[in-house]
Amino acid sequence: MKRSLSGIKPTGKLTLGNYIGALKNFPKFQEEYENFIFVADLHALTLPIDPDYLKNNTRDLVALYLACGLDPNKTTIFLQSDVSEHSELNSILQNYLYMGELSRMTQFKDKSKKLNQNAIGLGLFAYPVLMCADILLYNADVVPVGEDQKQHVELCRNLVHRFNTRYNKEIFVMPEPIVPQVGARIMSLSDPTKKMSKSDEKGDIFLLENLKSIEKKIMRATTDLGSDIKYDKENKPGISNLLMIYASLKDISVEEAEEHFKDCHRYGDFKKEVASVVIDTISKIQNKYNGIISSNLVDEVLKEGAKKAKAVASITLKNVQKTVGIYGK
Protein backbone atom coordinates (compact mmCIF):
# COMPACT_ATOMS: atom_id res chain seq x y z
CA MET A 1 0.00 0.00 0.00
CA LYS A 2 1.31 3.45 -0.84
CA ARG A 3 1.97 5.88 1.96
CA SER A 4 0.70 9.40 2.52
CA LEU A 5 2.08 11.81 5.12
CA SER A 6 1.33 15.34 6.19
CA GLY A 7 1.47 17.62 9.22
CA ILE A 8 0.53 21.03 10.55
CA LYS A 9 2.41 23.30 12.95
CA PRO A 10 0.57 24.01 16.22
CA THR A 11 1.48 27.68 16.01
CA GLY A 12 -1.82 29.47 15.93
CA LYS A 13 -5.54 28.99 15.73
CA LEU A 14 -6.42 26.81 12.74
CA THR A 15 -8.11 28.72 9.95
CA LEU A 16 -10.57 27.91 7.23
CA GLY A 17 -7.53 28.15 4.90
CA ASN A 18 -5.80 25.32 6.80
CA TYR A 19 -8.99 23.32 6.63
CA ILE A 20 -9.62 23.75 2.92
CA GLY A 21 -5.97 23.58 1.83
CA ALA A 22 -4.96 20.67 4.03
CA LEU A 23 -7.13 19.23 6.81
CA LYS A 24 -10.24 18.59 4.76
CA ASN A 25 -8.24 16.38 2.42
CA PHE A 26 -6.40 14.32 5.02
CA PRO A 27 -9.22 11.82 5.72
CA LYS A 28 -9.55 11.06 2.00
CA PHE A 29 -6.08 9.57 2.05
CA GLN A 30 -6.80 7.15 4.89
CA GLU A 31 -9.06 5.15 2.60
CA GLU A 32 -6.48 4.54 -0.12
CA TYR A 33 -3.13 4.99 1.56
CA GLU A 34 -1.30 4.01 4.68
CA ASN A 35 -1.81 7.41 6.24
CA PHE A 36 0.49 9.28 8.65
CA ILE A 37 -0.59 12.64 10.07
CA PHE A 38 1.44 14.40 12.71
CA VAL A 39 1.71 17.61 14.68
CA ALA A 40 4.87 19.49 13.69
CA ASP A 41 5.58 20.72 17.21
CA LEU A 42 9.36 21.02 16.69
CA HIS A 43 8.65 23.20 13.68
CA ALA A 44 6.50 25.39 15.94
CA LEU A 45 9.67 26.45 17.78
CA THR A 46 11.16 28.11 14.70
CA LEU A 47 9.53 31.39 15.78
CA PRO A 48 9.14 32.46 19.43
CA ILE A 49 6.09 30.84 21.04
CA ASP A 50 4.72 30.76 24.59
CA PRO A 51 5.20 27.26 26.14
CA ASP A 52 1.68 26.96 27.59
CA TYR A 53 0.18 28.18 24.36
CA LEU A 54 2.16 25.58 22.41
CA LYS A 55 1.00 22.78 24.72
CA ASN A 56 -2.67 23.73 24.53
CA ASN A 57 -2.51 24.27 20.82
CA THR A 58 -0.95 20.85 20.28
CA ARG A 59 -3.81 19.15 22.10
CA ASP A 60 -6.34 21.26 20.21
CA LEU A 61 -4.79 20.37 16.88
CA VAL A 62 -5.02 16.64 17.56
CA ALA A 63 -8.65 17.06 18.66
CA LEU A 64 -9.33 18.95 15.43
CA TYR A 65 -7.66 16.23 13.36
CA LEU A 66 -10.11 13.78 14.89
CA ALA A 67 -13.07 16.16 14.59
CA CYS A 68 -12.32 16.64 10.89
CA GLY A 69 -12.62 12.93 10.22
CA LEU A 70 -9.25 11.31 10.83
CA ASP A 71 -9.84 7.84 12.22
CA PRO A 72 -7.06 6.58 14.52
CA ASN A 73 -7.77 3.04 13.34
CA LYS A 74 -6.91 4.04 9.78
CA THR A 75 -4.40 6.87 10.30
CA THR A 76 -1.31 6.98 12.49
CA ILE A 77 -1.65 10.29 14.37
CA PHE A 78 1.41 11.39 16.34
CA LEU A 79 3.62 14.19 17.61
CA GLN A 80 6.85 14.91 15.75
CA SER A 81 8.65 15.30 19.09
CA ASP A 82 7.50 11.84 20.26
CA VAL A 83 9.55 10.16 17.55
CA SER A 84 13.19 11.11 18.13
CA GLU A 85 14.13 9.70 14.73
CA HIS A 86 12.92 13.00 13.20
CA SER A 87 15.70 14.90 14.94
CA GLU A 88 18.26 12.18 14.29
CA LEU A 89 17.57 12.02 10.56
CA ASN A 90 17.50 15.83 10.50
CA SER A 91 21.08 15.95 11.72
CA ILE A 92 22.20 13.66 8.91
CA LEU A 93 20.16 15.30 6.16
CA GLN A 94 21.39 18.81 6.93
CA ASN A 95 24.61 17.83 5.21
CA TYR A 96 22.87 17.15 1.92
CA LEU A 97 20.96 20.42 1.53
CA TYR A 98 22.77 23.60 0.58
CA MET A 99 22.58 27.05 2.15
CA GLY A 100 21.94 28.58 -1.26
CA GLU A 101 18.81 26.54 -1.89
CA LEU A 102 17.52 27.01 1.65
CA SER A 103 17.93 30.79 1.37
CA ARG A 104 15.76 30.78 -1.76
CA MET A 105 12.73 29.29 0.00
CA THR A 106 9.80 31.71 -0.19
CA GLN A 107 8.58 30.93 3.31
CA PHE A 108 12.01 31.66 4.78
CA LYS A 109 12.26 34.92 2.86
CA ASP A 110 8.78 36.03 3.96
CA LYS A 111 9.20 35.10 7.60
CA SER A 112 12.76 36.32 8.05
CA LYS A 113 11.95 39.68 6.45
CA LYS A 114 9.71 40.46 9.42
CA LEU A 115 12.45 39.73 11.99
CA ASN A 116 15.40 41.69 13.35
CA GLN A 117 18.05 40.75 10.80
CA ASN A 118 20.55 39.91 13.55
CA ALA A 119 18.18 37.51 15.24
CA ILE A 120 17.01 35.10 12.57
CA GLY A 121 17.02 31.64 14.15
CA LEU A 122 19.00 28.85 12.53
CA GLY A 123 15.92 26.63 12.92
CA LEU A 124 13.85 28.93 10.75
CA PHE A 125 16.51 28.77 8.04
CA ALA A 126 16.82 24.99 8.33
CA TYR A 127 13.04 24.45 8.56
CA PRO A 128 12.85 22.49 5.27
CA VAL A 129 15.59 20.08 6.39
CA LEU A 130 13.44 18.85 9.27
CA MET A 131 10.49 18.73 6.90
CA CYS A 132 12.50 16.44 4.60
CA ALA A 133 13.24 14.19 7.58
CA ASP A 134 9.49 14.09 8.39
CA ILE A 135 8.62 12.97 4.89
CA LEU A 136 11.50 10.59 4.22
CA LEU A 137 11.36 8.66 7.51
CA TYR A 138 8.02 7.24 6.39
CA ASN A 139 8.97 6.86 2.72
CA ALA A 140 5.84 8.81 1.84
CA ASP A 141 4.71 8.49 -1.77
CA VAL A 142 2.37 11.48 -1.49
CA VAL A 143 2.33 14.59 0.68
CA PRO A 144 -0.99 16.47 0.71
CA VAL A 145 -0.34 20.18 1.40
CA GLY A 146 -1.58 23.66 0.50
CA GLU A 147 0.13 25.66 -2.24
CA ASP A 148 2.57 27.40 0.10
CA GLN A 149 4.24 24.12 1.13
CA LYS A 150 4.73 22.78 -2.37
CA GLN A 151 8.15 24.37 -2.70
CA HIS A 152 9.38 22.53 0.40
CA VAL A 153 8.25 19.20 -1.00
CA GLU A 154 9.99 20.03 -4.31
CA LEU A 155 13.16 20.67 -2.33
CA CYS A 156 12.72 17.28 -0.69
CA ARG A 157 12.49 15.72 -4.15
CA ASN A 158 15.85 17.28 -5.03
CA LEU A 159 17.31 15.86 -1.87
CA VAL A 160 16.03 12.36 -2.65
CA HIS A 161 17.61 12.51 -6.07
CA ARG A 162 20.89 13.80 -4.65
CA PHE A 163 21.04 11.25 -1.84
CA ASN A 164 20.05 8.21 -3.88
CA THR A 165 22.52 9.19 -6.61
CA ARG A 166 25.35 9.72 -4.15
CA TYR A 167 24.94 6.24 -2.63
CA ASN A 168 23.79 4.64 -5.84
CA LYS A 169 20.82 3.03 -4.06
CA GLU A 170 17.09 3.66 -3.76
CA ILE A 171 17.32 4.67 -0.11
CA PHE A 172 14.46 7.16 -0.19
CA VAL A 173 11.14 7.07 -2.03
CA MET A 174 10.44 10.08 -4.26
CA PRO A 175 7.53 12.02 -2.65
CA GLU A 176 4.84 13.75 -4.69
CA PRO A 177 3.16 16.92 -3.37
CA ILE A 178 -0.63 16.75 -3.70
CA VAL A 179 -2.20 20.20 -3.81
CA PRO A 180 -6.01 20.43 -3.89
CA GLN A 181 -7.48 21.52 -7.22
CA VAL A 182 -9.90 23.85 -5.49
CA GLY A 183 -8.76 25.91 -2.51
CA ALA A 184 -4.99 25.40 -2.40
CA ARG A 185 -4.67 29.05 -1.43
CA ILE A 186 -7.52 30.67 0.47
CA MET A 187 -7.12 34.43 0.80
CA SER A 188 -7.83 36.82 3.68
CA LEU A 189 -11.42 38.09 3.82
CA SER A 190 -10.28 41.62 4.61
CA ASP A 191 -7.54 41.73 1.97
CA PRO A 192 -8.10 39.09 -0.70
CA THR A 193 -4.68 39.73 -2.21
CA LYS A 194 -3.06 38.24 0.92
CA LYS A 195 -3.08 34.58 2.04
CA MET A 196 -5.40 33.73 4.93
CA SER A 197 -2.84 33.04 7.65
CA LYS A 198 -3.07 32.31 11.35
CA SER A 199 -2.23 35.87 12.40
CA ASP A 200 -4.84 38.13 10.87
CA GLU A 201 -7.87 38.44 13.16
CA LYS A 202 -9.98 40.48 10.75
CA GLY A 203 -9.42 38.49 7.61
CA ASP A 204 -9.33 35.03 9.12
CA ILE A 205 -12.03 32.53 9.88
CA PHE A 206 -10.97 30.22 12.69
CA LEU A 207 -12.26 26.68 13.06
CA LEU A 208 -13.00 27.28 16.74
CA GLU A 209 -14.52 30.73 16.27
CA ASN A 210 -17.96 31.76 17.43
CA LEU A 211 -20.43 31.14 14.59
CA LYS A 212 -22.00 34.62 14.77
CA SER A 213 -18.60 36.20 14.39
CA ILE A 214 -17.87 34.00 11.35
CA GLU A 215 -21.10 35.11 9.74
CA LYS A 216 -20.24 38.77 10.34
CA LYS A 217 -16.81 38.40 8.82
CA ILE A 218 -18.18 36.81 5.66
CA MET A 219 -20.92 39.42 5.29
CA ARG A 220 -18.26 42.14 5.66
CA ALA A 221 -15.68 40.45 3.41
CA THR A 222 -14.02 42.83 0.99
CA THR A 223 -15.58 42.47 -2.44
CA ASP A 224 -15.16 44.24 -5.73
CA LEU A 225 -17.15 46.53 -7.98
CA GLY A 226 -19.92 45.01 -10.05
CA SER A 227 -22.59 42.48 -9.26
CA ASP A 228 -21.71 39.32 -11.17
CA ILE A 229 -20.56 36.24 -9.32
CA LYS A 230 -17.65 35.31 -11.57
CA TYR A 231 -14.26 33.80 -10.90
CA ASP A 232 -11.70 36.40 -11.95
CA LYS A 233 -8.71 36.45 -9.62
CA GLU A 234 -7.16 39.60 -11.12
CA ASN A 235 -10.19 41.87 -11.19
CA LYS A 236 -12.45 40.25 -8.61
CA PRO A 237 -10.15 38.77 -5.96
CA GLY A 238 -12.75 39.02 -3.17
CA ILE A 239 -15.59 37.33 -5.05
CA SER A 240 -13.19 34.73 -6.46
CA ASN A 241 -12.01 33.83 -2.97
CA LEU A 242 -15.56 33.40 -1.66
CA LEU A 243 -16.47 31.32 -4.72
CA MET A 244 -13.43 29.14 -4.08
CA ILE A 245 -14.47 28.63 -0.44
CA TYR A 246 -18.00 27.73 -1.52
CA ALA A 247 -16.84 25.32 -4.24
CA SER A 248 -14.41 23.56 -1.96
CA LEU A 249 -16.87 23.07 0.89
CA LYS A 250 -19.53 21.84 -1.55
CA ASP A 251 -16.99 19.56 -3.26
CA ILE A 252 -17.73 21.03 -6.67
CA SER A 253 -15.57 22.82 -9.26
CA VAL A 254 -15.36 26.61 -9.45
CA GLU A 255 -17.22 26.47 -12.78
CA GLU A 256 -20.07 24.58 -11.14
CA ALA A 257 -20.15 27.18 -8.37
CA GLU A 258 -20.33 29.99 -10.95
CA GLU A 259 -23.18 28.19 -12.68
CA HIS A 260 -25.01 27.87 -9.36
CA PHE A 261 -24.82 31.65 -8.82
CA LYS A 262 -25.41 32.73 -12.42
CA ASP A 263 -28.77 34.32 -11.62
CA CYS A 264 -27.61 35.90 -8.40
CA HIS A 265 -26.71 39.55 -8.88
CA ARG A 266 -26.57 40.71 -5.31
CA TYR A 267 -23.33 40.26 -3.40
CA GLY A 268 -25.31 40.24 -0.14
CA ASP A 269 -27.34 37.18 -1.18
CA PHE A 270 -24.21 35.45 -2.44
CA LYS A 271 -22.38 36.07 0.82
CA LYS A 272 -25.33 34.76 2.84
CA GLU A 273 -25.18 31.47 0.99
CA VAL A 274 -21.40 31.22 1.39
CA ALA A 275 -21.77 31.98 5.11
CA SER A 276 -24.38 29.28 5.52
CA VAL A 277 -22.13 26.59 3.98
CA VAL A 278 -19.14 27.69 6.06
CA ILE A 279 -21.18 27.71 9.27
CA ASP A 280 -22.69 24.34 8.51
CA THR A 281 -19.21 22.83 8.03
CA ILE A 282 -17.62 24.53 11.01
CA SER A 283 -20.47 23.87 13.44
CA LYS A 284 -20.22 20.13 12.75
CA ILE A 285 -16.48 20.24 13.42
CA GLN A 286 -16.99 22.22 16.62
CA ASN A 287 -19.59 19.77 17.95
CA LYS A 288 -17.22 16.86 17.47
CA TYR A 289 -14.28 18.84 18.85
CA ASN A 290 -16.19 19.66 22.05
CA GLY A 291 -16.83 15.98 22.73
CA ILE A 292 -13.22 14.99 22.04
CA ILE A 293 -11.49 17.74 24.02
CA SER A 294 -13.41 16.84 27.19
CA SER A 295 -12.30 13.19 26.97
CA ASN A 296 -8.96 11.35 27.18
CA LEU A 297 -9.02 10.47 23.52
CA VAL A 298 -6.19 12.82 22.48
CA ASP A 299 -3.68 11.27 24.88
CA GLU A 300 -4.73 7.73 24.00
CA VAL A 301 -4.43 8.37 20.28
CA LEU A 302 -1.01 10.01 20.64
CA LYS A 303 0.38 7.17 22.74
CA GLU A 304 -0.66 4.56 20.22
CA GLY A 305 0.40 6.77 17.27
CA ALA A 306 3.91 7.33 18.65
CA LYS A 307 4.47 3.58 18.91
CA LYS A 308 3.31 2.90 15.35
CA ALA A 309 5.25 5.82 13.88
CA LYS A 310 8.43 4.88 15.70
CA ALA A 311 8.27 1.34 14.40
CA VAL A 312 8.41 2.65 10.83
CA ALA A 313 10.79 5.56 11.41
CA SER A 314 13.42 3.51 13.25
CA ILE A 315 13.82 1.12 10.31
CA THR A 316 14.41 4.00 7.87
CA LEU A 317 16.84 5.74 10.19
CA LYS A 318 18.90 2.61 10.65
CA ASN A 319 19.04 2.05 6.93
CA VAL A 320 20.26 5.62 6.38
CA GLN A 321 22.84 5.36 9.16
CA LYS A 322 24.15 2.16 7.66
CA THR A 323 24.27 3.70 4.20
CA VAL A 324 26.30 6.73 5.22
CA GLY A 325 28.75 4.60 7.23
CA ILE A 326 27.80 5.00 10.86
CA TYR A 327 29.75 2.28 12.70
CA GLY A 328 27.84 -0.60 14.24
CA LYS A 329 24.53 -0.05 12.42
Residues tagged active-site:
111, 195, 198
Question: What would the x/- binding string for ligand AMP be over residues 20 to 39, using CB under 6 A?
Answer: xxx-----------------
Cα 70 from Cα 285, distance rounded (Å): 12
Question: What would the x/- binding string for ligand TRP be over residues 146 to 175, using CB under 6 A?
Answer: ---x--------------------------
Of residues 42 through 101, those in contact with ligand TRP by CB under 6 A are: 43
Instruction: Classify 204 as helix, strand or coil.
Output: coil
Contact between 186 and ligand AMP by CB under 6 A: the answer reads yes
Distance of CA 154 to the CA centre of its chain: 15
Quote the strand ranges of the chain, DSSP E.
3-8, 34-39, 75-79, 142-144, 176-178
Cα 125 from Cα 106, distance rounded (Å): 11
Scanning 65-73, 144-152, 206-214, 244-252 for contacts with ligand AMP by CB under 6 A, the matching segment is 144-152
- How many residues line the site for ligand AMP (CB under 6 A)? 18
Among 3, 4, 8, 65, interactor with ligand TRP by CB under 6 A: 8
Contact between 145 and ligand TRP by CB under 6 A: the answer reads yes
Enumerate residues 6+ apart whose C-beta is below 8 A from 312.
36, 137, 138
Of residues 177 through 236, those in contact with ligand TRP by CB under 6 A are: none
Residue 210: phi, psi to the nearest 5?
-60, 135
Amino acid code (one letter) for 48: P
Among 82, 88, 141, 148, interactor with ligand AMP by CB under 6 A: 148
Please count the other Cβ atoms lying within 10 Å of the Cβ belonging to residue 314.
15
Residues at the contact surface with ligand TRP, assessed by CB under 6 A = 5-9, 40, 43, 131, 134-135, 143, 145, 149
